[in-house]
Amino acid sequence: MNPHPELRQFLAQRQTRRTFLGRTSQGIGALALASLLNPRLLAASSAARKDKWTGAAYPLDYPQKVKRVIWLSMAGGPSHLETFDYKPKLTKMHGEAMPASFTEGKQIAQLQGQKLVCFGQQHGFKKFGRNGTEICELFPHIGSVLDDICLIRSMTTEAINHDPAHMFMNTGSQIAGRPSMGAWSTYGLGTVSENLPGFVVLTSLGRGGQNQPIAARQWAAGLLPSRFQGVHLRGKGDPVLYLSTPSGVTHTQQKDVVDTINAINAKYDTIVDDPEIATRIVQYEMAFKMQTSVPELMDIKPEGAKTLELYGCKPGDGSFASNCLLARRLAERGVRFIQLYHKDWDHHGGLKDGIKFKAEEIDRACMALITDLKQRGMFEDTLIVWAGEFGRTPMSQGGDGRDHHNAGFSIWLAGGGVKPGMVYGATDELGYAAVENPIDVHDLHATMLRLMGVEHKKLSVKFQGLDVRLTGIAGKTIDGILT
Amino acid sequence: MEKFKSLSVVAWGCLLLCLASPAVGAGSISYNRDIRPILSDDCFHCHGPDQKTRKGKFRLDVREDAVAKGAIVPGKPGESGIIQRLLTKDPEELMPPPEAHKTVTSAQRDMLRRWIAAGAKYEKHWAYVPPVKPVLSSDRGAVDALIRRRLNEVGLRPALPADRRTLARRLYFDLIGLPPGAGDVEAFVQDKSPAAFAGLVEKLLASPQFGERMAIGWLDVVRFADTIGYHSDNPRNVWPYRDYVIKSFNQNKPFDQFTREQLAGDLLPGSTAEQRVASCFNRLLLTTEEGGAQSKDYEARMLTDRVRAVSAVWLGQTVGCAQCHDHKFDPIKQRDFYALGAFFADIEEPIIGRRESGLLVPDEKQVAELARLQAEVRSLETGFNSPHPECEEAFIKWNREQSQIALEDSRWTSLTPARAVAAGGDKLQIQSDQSVLVAGKKKPETDVYTLDLTNFPSAIQALRIEALPSESLPGKGPGRAGNGNFVLSRVLASIEHTNGASDPLQFVSARASFEQSMAADQTPNKLWSAASVIDPQAKGEFTGWAVLPEVAKPQQIILDCGRLLALNRGDTLKVVLEQNHGHGNHTLGHFRLSATTNTEALRGPFVFPLAKEIDDVLAVPSGKRDQAQRDRVWEYFKKHSPEFATLRTNLAGARKTLTAYEDSLPHCLVSVTNAQPRTVRVLPRGNFLADTGDIMQPALPAYLAGPETKSGGRRLTRLDLADWLVSRENPLTARVVVNRLWKQFFGCGLSKVVDDLGAQGELPPNQPLLDWLACEFMDSGWDLKHMVRLMVNSQAYQQTSVSPKKLRDRDPLNREIAAQSRWRLDAELVRDNALAVSGLLVEKIGGPSTKPYQPEGYWENLNFPARSYEASTGPDQYRRGLYAWWQRSYLHPSLQAFDAPTREECAAERNRSNIPQQALVLLNDPTYVEASRALAVRMLKEGGADPSTRLAWAWRQVLNRTPRPDEIKSVQALLDKELAEYRADKTAAQALLKTGQNTTPPESDPVELAAWTNVARVLLNLHETITRS
């Protein structure tokens, strides 16, 4: 039997030696993908040889202020009233009925149908930074770098339950299946790292026990090809799924296996001339490189005592602080979009003590991340975003907590292109609704893309006949915070 | 057509093609093909169907409007506004406006100009016109005839036929999703008969794996998954639906029936269990159990989810945008959207919260066992319900005693609190027997219950408090302390008059059915006495009336006012029960208040009525009871008397066994219709809080079915919808289905965007072929296997997938089908292939979803409840990928790496990505390591004695061919190295062999097997192994 009967047909039909462009393929190699999704990439084919995705948004629409994003997702919905939004009037009205004028006709989660009572701020506020901005006294470290931070007190969102709210915050849609911000970023700007994915996710738990579930769809590529999906680096087990070689197979043996696979595949490519094969060879090389590069990345011991002390973490503790340090290491290695989830902000009850845990877990780490990036000259081209999926009500829930709230809450940005030390927007006197310069999730996304040099209206992909965009048909950049 | 008979076949073709599709033809411009895509992409957003975003008050999608406004002057492009605005240098005038970031190329401008010059003819969107079957000289070979006609037109030639080995592999993967065995291919290669290929097609169509293969695509498009999707993403019972789908494909159920059963199986006359299982389709949407979710919010989400599903599955339409506004590109109105959603408003379901278990779906064996257990219960019931003369005497005695008690008890009037409040915040729940049950988690150490009573008699002399046991209390109560005890410290009562005056009741004596003497050292009189409740002198701070150890049974305290107090209409009797013990939760958990004016009652013995439910009947003298009352008493006796204890226990036992058995059987969520459907309103801008929109009745989409649906005033049902979807009047369903089917066999739909045949989709380059197939599908009685046969028996299908550069340059996506295509296998099939060639595959059809190995901790971010993953053991570990547990928020990572969709949304199309995670899976996932080892075991056992015959054997098994010299060389080198290394490290060899649950034959040499396992890993990782070509 002829080993390759296909060869005959091929030789019969073959006319010239292959070129890379225009090969018949149903698969999504870098190039086929480019032609399917964005015709303007067809010309830029030189990088495709390595299957390194160079990005669909070039030439950029604006000067690129930041090369990467570190998004600190405070999962569960942090109370803006125990973090960044000072409302003495609310504390004065503690125990009194919440005036109906604030709440009528609004979405309410667990407080549906209940009597709404003002719930005063549970901790004191102090002035920080050169402008004397009041933030909660539990966050002195963040206070110490407040002059590097752009605090937004007028954030709003459409969703009010965790899962849809995360989806909206990440993908700009409450319908599952849209790409998350990290996927859009790597799709638009391409990847830099040769041996790490462009979009990486880290998660950490809080000690308070309010750890809401988070679905993998939060970092999914959705309708974009899978190569853009976030890779979850895990604290336990293999940091990347299936990263370890099988037991009983050494690193060298694995290399021999991969080399043999690639050699046979390469030969097969000369016979059937299929561009997917070249891509597959590159992916096996990349996978093998990740087997070394990822464990090396995850090992923070070499950082030294001083750095570990700055962040307040120990190797292998799986803490938010450790993840912040890992985020910096990922940033150094060219990862485009780094998203950290820190859970346990869902304070329906036990808010007063619960928020103390949170402060202990994140305060120093956030400061350390900013300080560390500044020391290394990376702060200027990094964007840090600190945001929950929503805020919490000024009204009491059960006498010691706050319910979900989407009409006004606080987030902050720091890094390149963002005005440092400013406060943007405000909620009303009880901290219920954003009244001054209100912004929404689409605006945040538009602004983030803008800082990366991309016009949000232009970054789109055809799907089911529509031009799908991260910002849908809305979104305007928050010009007031841009330098 | 008679006179054309003499024309040559080619001329025929051109002519017919022109008739069938006037658009296609060199040089001529077609609105649908050439113009609409430009207008739709660049203009319709502001000048299209959605009037809310329409600018300048005119639209370009309706010719009359465009002409009336001068945007188009037919025949005169230079005078047409649209051309002027496209060309102007004035940024104010320029269209599309610069801020829209849209560009119209010069070629497109030229096209528009030529179209207007030619008269600017509009056409209805191609897919909204019912398909017409192109007339051919013969329907035999129609697929090839229509493809060739198109190839002639565009100047291409078909490719050579593929070799037989490739053909066999292609057909096996496409029709059953499994690789052919070595023998299968060799037999096919040897079979020189012209019918060999068609024979193989028939064999595979008849195989039970055909249904499994077909199911994969269908399960994607209907978004079948084992979990609810949102937040906690908990399981639900749906797998019998998956088996229904497999079975239906295997039985070649006509697609129209398949449609009716899924949308409305429950509404079909005399619907069978299978048809009801089919209606699980309507339950496959995403749901939530998240606390604080608002039902209006999720009602809206569920409606839109279902509309998107029906549109995706049958209509190939993207209608999601019409949730908030009229569609921008298609004539779909927001009202159409909600009217379509209203078809599903009858489905009974919780909007928020856990799904019900669903319909019991036993298999044959289970049906028999179920019948046996049911018979057992019935026979015991019959025994229990038949007359029991042997108990007559006991009954009469019991009846007499109880009647006496009831009579005495009837002197007390039970008081129902109009208001009952516990100061500590727990709930005082009024029961049907007028008692008060305390519930809640606060459980304060001390508590004060305040009860307002308004239904008392006209006077009162004494108050009785019954402390009652309850199953819900610790130690069965009556108290909330862990041992069932309570301490009632003080009882205050007053009459609150309507004028605001208040008369406190002065109790002169108190006595109780039992007073606790245990642990009473610090109490006056060494008793937890009744008197302490009314006598401040007789008690300390923490004392009061208590009843240990006589708990878990009713106790009473009677408080006497010493005189008759008159009560007026409107007065309120306020009773305050203070419980100040202060530790151990010594508060009352269940109690009832009653009052009497009868001095005999208050001084007589304590009477404990059996139960309030029967008390009133027992109080009626035996002779005066009617039949219903007599029955009630008898039933009560049977339920409680010791004489019936054995019968009762047996019956309860049999019922429990039956219920437990039923619970262990498969269940499936199904559609159940509710006579009061939910109200569906148009939600302005999709805002679920608004209830200002019009109320919508179910109606077919007006843009497809016409403005009026004839229903004679009857509310349309899901069955009406299903009937219309598979009717000749609907131009879409048949096209959508054959287009998806085509993609399965050719890699790309005839219309490329398989999930959108609307304006933003693609006019198929070969529309006659798509329409011919759609018509043939309907003409054949929606016969799916017939359509499969037509497609795969075509010469087009059997072409080689290796194509020359010239063709690839011409047609990079192979839209003209001048060759076959090649692609990486679907996620499930990558797994199936590895299991099949290694011999591990267990070919069982159907059953509960299985759990392949999965990295530990992958579910760590799931919560409510937190979960751990238990991989299936035994044969279930080796089942096909389509049976894998589909956890929507954390899809199995190995399937996900190969682009299996999460099925949160309908997915007609999968990515075919090529990413490093795929390499990691094939190299390191225990599933593939284990399969490699199993393959290695077979190589050593079945492949002969020396390496070269073993390799030849393995290549035949996995790739159905002999190895190339370069392959032998590479692999031999690897093998030698591995053998040397494992010889030096036997522990490593043994470690490798331990992967997976499958054990290694004891006689095998670990060193040799480990080395060959790595050879097998190479083979399972090859691009060729996971490619259908």
**pLDDT value, residue B162:** 95
Our measurement of the distance from residue B616's CA atom to the centroid of its chain's CA atoms, rounded to an integer in Å, reads 49
User: Between vectors from CA B555 to CA B549 and to CA B557, what angle results, nearest 5°?
Assistant: 120
Please indicate whether, in this complex, the C-beta atoms of A280 and B1023 are within 8 angstroms of each other: yes
pLDDT grade, residue B24 (50/70/90)?
Answer: very low
DSSP class of residue A113 equals: T
Nearest by Cα to A292 from A201, A199, A195, A202: A195
Please indicate whether, in this complex, the C-beta atoms of A215 and B233 are within 8 angstroms of each other: yes
CB A332 within 8 A of CB A111: no
pLDDT grade, residue B22 (50/70/90)?
Answer: very low
**B311 compared with B406, residue with greater pLDDT:** B311
Rounded to whole angstroms, the Cα distance separating B435 from B591 reads 6
**pLDDT value, residue B539:** 58
* Both structure tokens of B325: 């506004």
Q: Is the pLDDT assigned to residue B309 strictly greater than 70? A: yes
Q: Which of A264, A279, A285, A346 to mutate to test the interface with B (most CBs of B within 10 A)?
A: A264
- A309 domain residue, yes or no: no
**pLDDT value, residue B301:** 93
Considering only CB atoms, which chain A residues are within 8 Å of B920? 240-243, 287, 290
**pLDDT value, residue A13:** 45
Average pLDDT over residues B67-80: 89
3-class secondary structure per residue, B745-778:
HHCCCCCCCCCCCCCCCCCCCCHHHHHHHHHHHH
- A463 domain residue, yes or no: yes
Considering only CB atoms, which chain B residues are within 8 Å of A51? 914
Rounded to whole angstroms, the Cα distance separating A284 from A304 reads 33
**pLDDT value, residue B329:** 66
Considering only CB atoms, which chain A residues are within 8 Å of B961? 1-5
Helix-strand-coil split of chain B, %, nearest 5: 45, 10, 45
State the pTM of this model.
0.81
**pLDDT value, residue B761:** 81
**Which chain B residue has its CA at the smallest distance from A61's CA?**
B101
pLDDT grade, residue B807 (50/70/90)?
Answer: confident
Nearest by Cα to B19 from B140, B11, B801: B11
What are the φ and ψ backbone dihedral angles of B822, each rounded to 5 degrees?
A: -130, 145
pLDDT grade, residue B39 (50/70/90)?
Answer: confident
pLDDT grade, residue B442 (50/70/90)?
Answer: confident
Rounded to whole angstroms, the Cα distance separating B933 from B383 reads 61
Q: Is the pLDDT assigned to residue A48 strictly greater than 60? A: no
Query: Would you put residue B354 in left (φ > 0), alpha (ψ -120 to 50) or beta?
Result: beta
Give the one of A29, A225, A284 whose C-beta lies nearest to B911's C-beta. A225
Residues 829-858 of chain B whose Cβ lies under 8 A from any Cβ of chain A? 855-858
pLDDT grade, residue A4 (50/70/90)?
Answer: low
CA distances from B188 to A170, B793, B828, B962 (A): 53, 15, 26, 16
**pLDDT value, residue B328:** 67
What are the φ and ψ backbone dihedral angles of A17, each rounded to 5 degrees?
A: -65, 145
CB A264 within 8 A of CB B1009: no
Considering only CB atoms, which chain B residues are within 8 Å of A462? 760
Could you give the angle at which helices B164-175 and B784-792 cross, rounded to 10 degrees?
Answer: 160
* Both structure tokens of A356: 């103390």
Summary mean pLDDT of chain A: 88
* Both structure tokens of B581: 């013990």
Which residue matches tokens 């915040």?
A: B425
Give the one of A10, A177, A264 whose C-beta lies nearest to B967's C-beta. A264
The model's pLDDT over B447-464, given as tens digits with 9 standing for 90+, comes to 999 999 887 778 889 999
Domains and CATH numbers, chain B: 24-122 (no CATH), 254-358+676-725 (no CATH), 412-597 (2.60.40), 924-1028 (no CATH)
What are the φ and ψ backbone dihedral angles of B969, each rounded to 5 degrees?
A: -65, -50
The model's pLDDT over B245-285, given as tens digits with 9 standing for 90+, comes to 999 999 999 999 999 999 999 999 999 999 999 999 999 99
Is the Cβ of B621 closer than 8 Å to some Cβ of chain A? no
**B762 compared with B160, residue with greater pLDDT:** B160
pLDDT grade, residue B20 (50/70/90)?
Answer: very low
Selection from A432-446, B110-124, B288-302 with the highest mean pLDDT: A432-446
Summary mean pLDDT of chain B: 90
Nearest by Cα to B405 from B554, B588, B289: B554
Rounded to whole angstroms, the Cα distance separating B109 from B241 reads 52
**pLDDT value, residue B27:** 57
ipTM score: 0.81
**pLDDT value, residue B522:** 75
Give the one of B755, B894, B917 whose C-beta lies nearest to A464's C-beta. B755
* Both structure tokens of B93: 């005038």
Q: Is the pLDDT assigned to residue A396 strictly greater than 80? A: yes
Residues 168-207 of chain B whose Cβ lies under 8 A from any Cβ of chain A? 189
Please indicate whether, in this complex, the C-beta atoms of A213 and B926 are within 8 angstroms of each other: no
The whole-angstrom distance between A217's CA and the closest CA on chain B is: 6
- A472 domain residue, yes or no: yes
Please indicate whether, in this complex, the C-beta atoms of A242 and B988 are within 8 angstroms of each other: no
Please indicate whether, in this complex, the C-beta atoms of A9 and B162 are within 8 angstroms of each other: yes
- A37 domain residue, yes or no: no
Considering only CB atoms, which chain A residues are within 8 Å of B889? 213, 215-217
**pLDDT value, residue B690:** 81
The whole-angstrom distance between A234's CA and the closest CA on chain B is: 9
Give percent of chain B with pLDDT exceeding 70.
96
The three-class DSSP label of residue B420 is strand
Q: Which residues contact A190 (CB under 8 A, 6 or more apart)?
A: A52, A53, A54, A55, A56, A58, A198, A336
CB pairs under 8 A between A and B: 322
**pLDDT value, residue B540:** 63
Q: What is the DSSP string of B972-1011?
A: HHHHHHHHHHHHH-HHHHHHHHTSSSSPPPTTS-HHHHHH
**pLDDT value, residue B293:** 87
Q: What is the CA radius of gyration of chain A?
A: 25
Please indicate whether, in this complex, the C-beta atoms of B232 and A213 are within 8 angstroms of each other: yes
CB half-sphere exposure, A268, CA atoms < 13 A: 24
The three-class DSSP label of residue B620 is coil
The model's pLDDT over A320-366, given as tens digits with 9 standing for 90+, comes to 999 999 999 999 999 999 999 999 999 999 999 999 999 999 999 99
The three-class DSSP label of residue A300 is coil
- A82 domain residue, yes or no: yes
* Both structure tokens of B736: 């959508």
Report the 10 Å Cβ neighbour count for B109.
16
Please indicate whether, in this complex, the C-beta atoms of B890 and A215 are within 8 angstroms of each other: yes
Sign of torsion, CA A78 A80 A81 A86?
positive
Q: Is the pLDDT assigned to residue B821 strictly greater than 70? A: yes
Report the 10 Å Cβ neighbour count for A47.
14
What are the φ and ψ backbone dihedral angles of A130, each rounded to 5 degrees?
A: -70, -20
Average pLDDT over residues B933-951: 96
The model's pLDDT over B735-791, given as tens digits with 9 standing for 90+, comes to 999 999 999 999 999 998 888 898 778 889 999 999 999 999 999 999 999 999 999
- Number of separate domains in chain A: 1
pLDDT grade, residue A95 (50/70/90)?
Answer: very high
- Which residue type, as a one-letter code, is found at position B1016? A
The model's pLDDT over B547-570, given as tens digits with 9 standing for 90+, comes to 999 999 999 999 999 888 888 888
Average pLDDT over residues B804-826: 86
CB half-sphere exposure, B490, CA atoms < 13 A: 16
Q: Is the pLDDT assigned to residue A107 strictly greater than 60? A: yes
**B177 compared with B17, residue with greater pLDDT:** B177
Rounded to whole angstroms, the Cα distance separating B451 from B493 reads 9
Domain that holds residue A454: 59-187+217-235+351-362+394-483
Our CA dihedral for B923, B924, B927, B929, rounded to 10 degrees, sits at: 70
- A429 domain residue, yes or no: yes
Please indicate whether, in this complex, the C-beta atoms of A109 and B292 are within 8 angstroms of each other: yes
The model's pLDDT over B129-157, given as tens digits with 9 standing for 90+, comes to 999 999 898 888 999 999 999 999 999 99
**pLDDT value, residue B399:** 87
pLDDT grade, residue B538 (50/70/90)?
Answer: low
Q: What is the DSSP string of B78-121?
A: GG-HHHHHHH-S-TTT-SS-GGG-----HHHHHHHHHHHHTT--
**pLDDT value, residue B811:** 83
**pLDDT value, residue B536:** 64
Considering only CB atoms, which chain B residues are within 8 Å of A273? 802
User: Between vectors from CA A271 to CA A265 and to CA A277, what angle results, nearest 5°?
Assistant: 35
Please indicate whether, in this complex, the C-beta atoms of A26 and B814 are within 8 angstroms of each other: yes
The whole-angstrom distance between B658's CA and the closest CA on chain A is: 37
- A43 domain residue, yes or no: no
pLDDT grade, residue B334 (50/70/90)?
Answer: confident
CB B916 within 8 A of CB B975: no
Please indicate whether, in this complex, the C-beta atoms of A226 and B911 are within 8 angstroms of each other: yes
Please indicate whether, in this complex, the C-beta atoms of A176 and B823 are within 8 angstroms of each other: no
pLDDT grade, residue B524 (50/70/90)?
Answer: confident
The whole-angstrom distance between B429's CA and the closest CA on chain A is: 19
**pLDDT value, residue B12:** 33
Rounded to whole angstroms, the Cα distance separating B293 from A412 reads 27
CB B786 within 8 A of CB B721: no
- A374 domain residue, yes or no: no
Selection from B209-218, B390-399, B500-509, B629-638 with the highest mean pLDDT: B209-218
**pLDDT value, residue B688:** 83
Give percent of chain A with pLDDT exceeding 70.
89
pLDDT grade, residue A39 (50/70/90)?
Answer: very low
Query: Would you put residue A349 in left (φ > 0), alpha (ψ -120 to 50) or beta?
Result: beta
**B847 compared with B94, residue with greater pLDDT:** B847
Q: Is the pLDDT assigned to residue A16 strictly greater than 60? A: no
